[in-house]
Amino acid sequence: MNPIGVNAWVWVSPPTDAAIAALAPRVKAMGFDLLELGLENPGDWDPARMAEVFAANGLGATVCAAMGPGRDLTDPALVASTQDYVRTCIDVVAALGGNVVAGPLYTPVGKTWQMDDAARAATTDRLIAGLTPLAAYAGEHGVRLAIEPLNRFETSFLNTAAQTMEVIDRLDSPAAGVLLDTFHMNIEEKDQAAAIRLVGDKLFHFHACGSDRGAPGADHIAWDTIAPALRDIGYDGPLVIESFTPDNQTIAPAAAIWRSLAETQDALAEDGLAFLRRAFATTAEPA
């Protein structure tokens, strides 16, 4: 059985030391194996202190990069500062004992612009140049970068598994792979199972989210095809529920969360966990 995790953004944004310390035992008591932390701003939470909290609660860790305004590996004026931010993400996940930094590690969420083939190729070249030293740095620290394609309303650059794999193939780094998210795939992929199989052993992370960006399970996503696809490629990494509390002014607008997606945030997490335990019970076992 794959480990199952949940992102702290289900309850809080930004995560802080106090919020994480209170949340970790609750998440563990619900039955989760892993807690994913967004790093909205370095310094929001202390990696050394949170490593103690995670260890005390027996939780694994991953870090999700928050690619907000000013973080862009395709903009020459912002590459250096964005690289510094991603290096910080790598450092903090290593301090937590985790090994994955995930997210749309290319441009700010919400940045869209029209590109012809030449402009897209030039943008891709700049991204490769920006990511190459980061993949090397991640590898040196035992961390893997999982690059996430987003839906067309959040980016005009990398929307599909195929587009993202073009970047990964060119990077040709053992530390660079893909994060697939069922919410985004539901919009952009004609066949989510086929997208999973296309990524294959470069699938480093997986977000299991409902079609409404709430709990997985009570939605129209074809989970009965996704679980076998993950099994077929031998994916044994975590399945993480990524949803968001509407009760903040930062991540909720970026993710277009304008209403509660469950009766309570705890119910969202618990219902999603129960579904994933049933649906993916044999996912990591060989076919």
Angle value at C-alpha 216, between 211 and 221, nearest 5 degrees: 45
Main-chain dihedrals φ then ψ at residue 123, nearest 5 degrees:
-65, -40
Answer for the pair 64, 181: CB distance below 8 angstroms, yes or no: no
How many helices, marked H, and strands, marked E, lie in the chain?
Answer: 10, 8
Q: What is the distance between the alpha carbons of residues 225 and 123, in angstroms, rounded to a whole number?
A: 34
Helix (H, G, I), strand (E, B) or coil at 63: strand
Main-chain dihedrals φ then ψ at residue 221, nearest 5 degrees:
-70, 145
Answer for the pair 134, 144: CB distance below 8 angstroms, yes or no: no
Answer for the pair 11, 247: CB distance below 8 angstroms, yes or no: no
Q: What is the distance between the alpha carbons of residues 139 and 128, in angstroms, rounded to a whole number?
A: 16
Element (H, E) at 198: helix 192-199
242 classed as catalytic: yes
**Catalytic residue (one of 36, 40, 148, 154):** 148
**Catalytic residue (one of 36, 154, 189, 242):** 242
Answer for the pair 30, 277: CB distance below 8 angstroms, yes or no: no
Helix (H, G, I), strand (E, B) or coil at 266: helix
What residues are annotated to the active site?
148, 242
